[in-house]
Amino acid sequence: MRSTAQSGSPPTPALATRADGGGGPSWSQRLPTEWARRLSATTYTPLRPPELRGLLTALAADLETARGSADAEASLAEWGRRAGATLVDAHLTDPAALETSLLVLGERLTPGPPATAAAGAFARGFTTQLRAATLREQERLAQAIIRAQSGVERAARQSEARFRAIFAGAGFGIGISDMFGRIIQVNQAFADLLGYPVEEMRGMTIPELRHPSDPARMWEDYRRVFSGEVDHIRMEKAYYRRDGDVVWTELSVSVIRDDAGEPQFTVAMVDDVTERHHLQARLRHQAAHDPLTGLPNRSLFTERLADAIANAGPTDRIGVCYLDLDGFKRINDSLGHDVGDELLVAVAGRLSDCARAFGHLAARMGGDEFVILVERCSGPDQLEILAEAALTALTAPISLGAHRLRVGASIGVVEQPAAATEPAEIMKAADVTLYQAKAAGRGRWVRYDPAMVAEESARYALSADMPDALERGEFTLVYQPIVALPGQKLLGLEALVRWRHPELGLLPPDRFIALAEETGFIVPLGRHVLRQACRQAAVSFPDHDLFVSVNLSVAQTQEDSLVSDIGEALVAAGLPASRLQLELTESALMSPHGAGLRALRTLADGGVRVAIDDFGTGYSNLAYLRSLPVHTLKLPRPFIAGLDQAEQGGAPAVEEQIVDALVRLAHAIDLTVTAEGVETYAQAQRLSALGCDTAQGWFLGPAYPPEQLRRLAVGQPATDARSR
Amino acid sequence: MHPTWAPDSIDVSHPSAARVYDYLLGGAHNFAADRALGDELTRRSPEIAETMRANRVFLRRAVQFLVEAGVRQFVDIGSGIPTVGNVHEIAQRLAPDTTVVYIDVDPVAVAHSEAILAGDPRAAVLAGDLREPERILAEVRQLGLIDFHRPVAVLLAGVLHFLSDNDNPGGIVDALIEPLATGSYLLISHATFDEQPAALIEAQQLSARTSTQIHARPYAEVRGLFSGLRMIEPGVVFIPLWRPDLEDAIDRPERIAAYAGVGHKG
């Protein structure tokens, strides 16, 4: 802006642009374009460029009109005030807009009082309008602040009211504590849960709410929460109620931090899960305990055993008493399962009391098997004392309703360094040892002996090998002569089985027959022996009446196919039924399986001879004997061995009296007698004198392999030499 | 429940982004703290006010473009204090039937907008936080002004740079665009440090005093916000280069430390 130094000069023309006469567009045309360009460059306008240009063009036109008016100075002042205000109204509020406008006008207007008046008025109009706009905007802003403030406060009040309602009315407990573990506030639900008044819980500390079941890591977790290391923990926790009861809760603790991230307090939420906890505990207990006796079951025992071994120190020892009731099956079968179950409950109670008295765990493994675990034992003696105590605990009769039962037990005792064993290994040892206790005669405990286990596994290996051995033809027969007394005429041969084992050499029957009976392999083995014996007898003595005597096991007599098996063997060999004798024990004959007996009758009716082996060593029903399809009684070796001492002191020895009585008995019911194991001349003489019909034994002829049988028959008349 | 964004109280002794913006645009809806920060920003980086103005000018140009393209529904998120050059003013001047919903997190801005918009049945304001896009959409839907079966322009002018990467701005944009009808548009302007002097970067960091730090992002990240959309020419560019008016003199566009772009949901 120029000064008003030329105020004395003529006023006409009042205003002229300096560019006038330049030949281009008139200043009133160029002014808006220049003004708009420079305003846009210095200040913000929401107007689009054409809008801004339009606005300024109108102002320029008004300026033109004012300039030409009669009172130009007054008109220009009036225009200046309006133009300044117009810019502000168009949001050209930046001070730069005023400066730019005055510069543009100053450059375009001829200096002089009218120009000065216009400029001054423009500045006045701009600032007056700007002040008004500013005050208006501040007013609006203040109102907005007030509204927003009250809105926020309302929201905060509502929010706080909501939170207070949630806090107070929540179904689960909420507690707030400071970072030192002091309880600041709890809601009613929390207080009710623990049975305290709210006021009493305030000021308590979290450690005061400890419970013995709290896991060790819980306090470490809490420490980490209070030190701000973690923001959230969650656990199942028990609390004592004020009345001493226990409630189980699902507890979740969160750290609340301020804006700077500093921990301010913790919020705990607890939900009562007592019922669920008890249900889970009950389910866990059920899963780990035997429903009948309430004792820990196999799975819990196995877990405890594994834990004990896993947590044992290097010198710790561990022990197990594995107990099985003797004769429990008989009680169950004869008195019924209800009594059996009651008995198990009573036994469980006694064993459990006994184990508890020593501080050990008793468990039921299933059936009538129980086990006592000694987690840290001092040595074998401790286990043996315990086993003895367990047997003693069972000695007193058990009263069940009308019954007074005595039940014995066998116990396998294992005691080992914990570090040197595995759960499966110790249980296997206990099982084997229990079996040994049973085999040793029941009602006793047996201590684990590794040699015994080795023997057991050898037996196992042997029994497992038998089927293949049969395939490979390793089972062969030898034949022991059976001769008439007196005169020793050959009447028949007893077939005896041997196992020609590729590694162990020739095995006698006592090494494998019992095993075969245990595994059931005796049935195929017996069938094999029967066929071999029939064939070899038929081949070796085609023209003789010599009979072959074959042993039948109990299992064989119970086979439905017994009659057909024997029939097939005879037919296949071409051997008449009359030349086959079957040897059975008394118990095989007396067993309640009528089928076996019927089969024997059928066979006897067909001409097969039947002998009772080892007569007098088992249970004999003499009255019944008469009606059995039996032809011969065989007297075992021990009776015969006693005959050597006969008549030493005048009176006959007991053995001789027994043999005498048995021979008389047999003859009374029309049976013949065969003496086994005759080893001396004297024995043969005595037997002859006592009227014994036939005999066999080393003295009368050893066992011959089949290839020698033909030679044995030489000189034997092909006549019917049999006594019957 | 208490919305996460709602303040506990209104504290005018702390600067607010909306009021600083207003001050830099020449408005008087601001307090000493806002003006002090605005002056400080200007002192450190004289272009800052120009950037704000350029952003506003871009918004004006882009809204005009969108209206001319047929859009009649706008959702302006982070609208701030509606001083001058508001979307509804620009749009309704071109097409009076245009509806606009403003959303801002600042309760003062919301209260102010309510006053301005009283009496305009086609415009409304909601309080909301960009970090809760589903909530925003639900409330916009509830308002009933916007028909989600027709195209909508979502405006995110100068607001996404208030979100940190942890807020997952890309996911938020996707959540906003996903439910929109085919033919909808997304507008973004976003601060960047690309090609900027160190002083400006410092100044931007100063804006952390408004309790929300500026997270300037490079070109690729800003472009990535439009994933799945067809870019309207000229794509993502420094603000002055986005469809300038013929009269605009463009001098060193990178002075304006922000990118702009408009995407189309085809």
At A650, phi and psi to the nearest 5?
A: 90, -55
Helix, strand, coil in percent for chain A, rounding step 5: 50, 20, 30
Q: Please list every residue in chain B whose beta carbon sits closer than 8 Å to the beta carbon of residue A36.
A: 247
When pLDDT is cut at 50, 70 and 90, the band that residue A20 belongs to is very low
Rounded to an integer, the average pLDDT of A151-171 is 81
A145/B108 touch (CB, cutoff 8 Å), yes or no: yes
Q: Say if residue A720's pLDDT is above 70.
A: no
pLDDT number for residue A27: 62
Pick from A259-263, A623-627, B150-154 the range whose average pLDDT is largest. B150-154
Looking at residue A151, its pLDDT comes to: 80
Instruction: Give percent of chain A with pLDDT exceeding 70.
Output: 92
What are phi and psi for residue A44, nearest 5 degrees?
Answer: -85, 135
Nearest CA to CA, how far is B162 from chain A (Å)?
18
What is residue A713's three-state secondary structure?
helix
- SS3 state of residue A217: helix
* Mutate: best of B1, B2, B211, partner A, most A CBs <10 A: B2
The angle, 0 to 180 degrees and rounded to 10, between the axes of the packed helices B107-117 and A113-169 is: 120
A625-673 residue pLDDT tens: 787 889 999 999 888 888 876 555 556 678 888 899 999 999 998 999 9
Distance (Å) of CA A690 to CA A222, A659, A675, A683, A724: 97, 8, 11, 10, 19
Chain A residues whose beta carbon lies within 8 Å of the beta carbon of residue B84: 44, 46, 91
Interface touch B10/A152, C-beta < 8 Å:
yes
Q: What is the pLDDT of residue A167?
A: 84
Query: Among B52, B90, B112, whose Cβ lies nearest the Cβ of A140?
Result: B112
Question: Average pLDDT of B172-191?
Answer: 95
Residue A668 phi, psi dihedral angles, 5° rounding? -60, -30
Could you tell me if A222 and A206 are in contact, meaning their C-beta atoms sit under 8 angstroms apart?
Answer: yes
- Residue range A117-154, pLDDT digits in tens: 888 899 999 999 998 888 888 888 888 888 888 887 78
Alpha helices in A68-213 (DSSP H): 72-89, 95-108, 113-169, 188-194, 198-201
Residues of chain A contacting residue B27, judged by C-beta atoms under 8 Å apart: 93, 137
R_g (Cα) of chain B, nearest Å:
17
Find how far residue A92's CA is from the centre of its chain: 81
Write out pLDDT tens, residues A599-613: 888 889 999 999 999
Put simply, the chain B residues between 140 and 159 with a CB less than 8 A from any chain A CB are none
**Least CA distance to A95: which residue of chain B?**
B26
Is the Cβ–Cβ distance between B151 and B69 less than 8 Å? no
Instruction: Identify the residue among A141, A143, A157, A163 best suited for mutation to test binding to B, counting B beta carbons within 10 A and taking the highest.
Output: A141
pLDDT of residue A371: 95
Contact A119, A76 (CB under 8 A): no
Tokens representing A150 are 């009250």
Q: Residue A438: pLDDT above 90?
A: no
A156 with B9: Cβ contact below 8 A:
yes
* Confidence tier at B252 by pLDDT (50, 70, 90): confident
Burial A600-619 (b: 16+ CB within 10 A, else e): beebbeeebbbbbbbbbeee
Yes or no: say if A713 and A541 are a contact pair by the CB < 8 Å rule: yes
In this complex, which of B26, B245, B247 lies closest to A44 when CB atoms are compared?
B26
At how many degrees (to 10) do helices B133-143 and B169-177 cross? 30
| Residue A17 or A251, more confident | A251
Mean pLDDT of A44-60: 85
Q: Which residue has the tokens 């605990």?
A: A393
Give the nearest partner residue to B56 out of A36, A44, A140, using CB atoms: A44
Burial track A399-436 (b if 16+ CB lie within 10 A, e otherwise): ebeeeebebebbbbbbbbebeebebeebbebbbbbbbb
Pairing mode of beta strands A263-272, A246-257: antiparallel
Res. A595 pLDDT band, cuts 50 70 90: low
Contact A145 B1 (CB under 8 A): no
Which three-class secondary structure state does DSSP give residue A544?
Answer: coil
Q: What is the mean pLDDT of residues A480-494?
A: 90
Tell me if chain A has a CB within 8 Å of the CB of B25: yes
Of B26, B27, B108, nearest to A144 by CB-CB distance is B108
The DSSP secondary-structure symbol of A546 reads -
Residues of chain A in contact with residue B107, where contact means CB-CB under 8 angstroms, are: 148-149, 151-152
3-state secondary structure of A556: helix
**How far B81 CA sits from the closest chain A CA (Å)?**
9
Q: Is A359's pLDDT higher than 80?
A: yes
d(CA B18, CA B113): 12
A281 vs A290: CA distance, rounded Å: 15
Please name the member of B8, B25, B81 whose beta carbon is closest to the beta carbon of A156. Answer: B8
Count contacts between A and B (CB, < 8 Å): 96
Consecutive H or E run containing A461 = helix A450-471
* C-alpha torsion sign, points B123, B124, B125, B130: negative
A495 phi and psi angles, rounded to 5 deg? -80, 130
Has residue A529 got a pLDDT over 90?
yes
Mutate one of A43, A87, A126, A152 to test the B interface: name it (highest B CB count within 10 A): A152
**Residue in chain A lying closest to B59 (CA):** A46
Q: Transcribe chain B into DSSP letters.
A: ---TT--SS--TTS--HHHHHHHHTT-----HHHHHHHHHHHHH-THHHHHHHHHHHHHHHHHHHHHHTT--EEEEET--S--SS-HHHHHHHH-TT-EEEEEES-HHHHHHHHHHHTT-TTEEEEE--TT-HHHHHHHHHHH--S-TTS--EEEEET-GGGS-GGG-HHHHHHHHHTTSPTT-EEEEEEE--TT--HHHHHHHHHGGGGTS------HHHHHHTTTTSEEPTT-SEEGGGSS--TT-----GGGS-EEEEEEE--
Whether B244 and chain A come into contact, CB under 8 Å, resolves to: no
The pTM of the full predicted model, rounded to 2 decimals, is 0.47
User: Is A286 within 8 Å of A338 (Cβ atoms)?
Assistant: no
pLDDT in tens, B51-101: 888 888 899 999 999 999 999 999 999 988 876 778 998 899 899 999 999
Does position A502 have pLDDT exceeding 60, yes or no? yes
Asked if residue A45 lies in contact with residue A92, where contact means CB atoms within 8 angstroms, the answer is yes
Within an 8 Å CB–CB cutoff, is residue B247 touching chain A?
yes
- A505 phi-psi bin (left φ>0, alpha ψ -120 to 50, beta other): left
**Who among A91, A138, A143 is closest to B26 (CB)?**
A91
* pLDDT value of position B18: 83
How many angstroms separate the CA atoms of A160 and A150, rounded?
15
Q: Mean pLDDT score of chain B, rounded to an integer?
A: 86
pLDDT at A10: 40
Tens digit of each residue's pLDDT (9 = 90 or more) over A23-41? 445 666 788 888 888 888 7
Could B56 and A46 be called an inter-chain contact, meaning their C-beta atoms sit closer than 8 Å?
yes
CA–CA gap between residue B114 and residue B117 (Å, rounded): 5
Backbone φ, ψ for residue A367 (5° rounding)? 55, -130
Tell me if A46 and B108 make a contact (CB, 8 A cut-off): no
Task: Give the residue, B244 or A1, on which the prediction is more confident.
Answer: B244
Q: Do A145 and B64 touch (CB under 8 A)?
A: no
Q: Do the beta carbons of residue A551 and residue A513 sit within 8 Å?
A: no
SS3 A364: strand
| A152/B9 CB distance under 8 A | yes
The pLDDT score that the predictor gives to residue B140 is: 94
> B10, A93: Cβ pair inside 8 Å?
no
Cβ–Cβ gap A40/B247 under 8 Å: yes
Residues in Cβ contact with B212 at an 8 Å cutoff, skipping those fewer than 6 apart: B17, B162
Of A44, A133, A140, the CB nearest to B25: A44
Rounded Cα distance between A18 and A34, Å, is: 14
User: Quick count: other Cβ atoms within 10 Å of Cβ A30?
Assistant: 16
**B64 and A143: CB-CB below 8 Å?**
no
- A519 confidence band (pLDDT: 50, 70, 90): confident
Interface of chain A toward chain B, CB-CB under 8 angstroms: 36-37, 40-41, 43-44, 46, 48-49, 91, 93-94, 133-134, 137-138, 140-141, 143-145, 147-149, 151-153, 155-156, 159, 162-163
Question: Could B1 and A162 be called an inter-chain contact, meaning their C-beta atoms sit closer than 8 Å?
Answer: yes
Nearest CA in chain B to A141: B29
Instruction: Please check whether residue A250 is in contact with residue A273, taking contact to mean a CB–CB distance below 8 angstroms.
Output: yes
Contact yes or no for B6 and A152 at CB 8 A = yes
How far apart CA A242 and CA A226 sit, in angstroms, is 25
The label of the residue with tokens 């003496």 reads: A675
Cα(A247)–Cα(A233) distance, rounded to whole angstroms?
19
| Structure-block tokens of residue A113 | 């009082």
Residue B50 distance to chain A (closest CA, Å): 8
Q: Is the pLDDT of residue B247 over 70?
A: no
**Cross-strand partners of A324:** A369, A410
Output the average pLDDT for chain A. 85
Cβ separation A143–B115 shorter than 8 A: yes
CA distance B228 to chain A (A): 32
Please state, in angstroms and as integers, the Cα–Cα distance from residue A194 to each residue in A249, A254, A369, A613, B206, following that order: 11, 20, 45, 81, 53
- Shortest CA gap B1–chain A (Å): 7
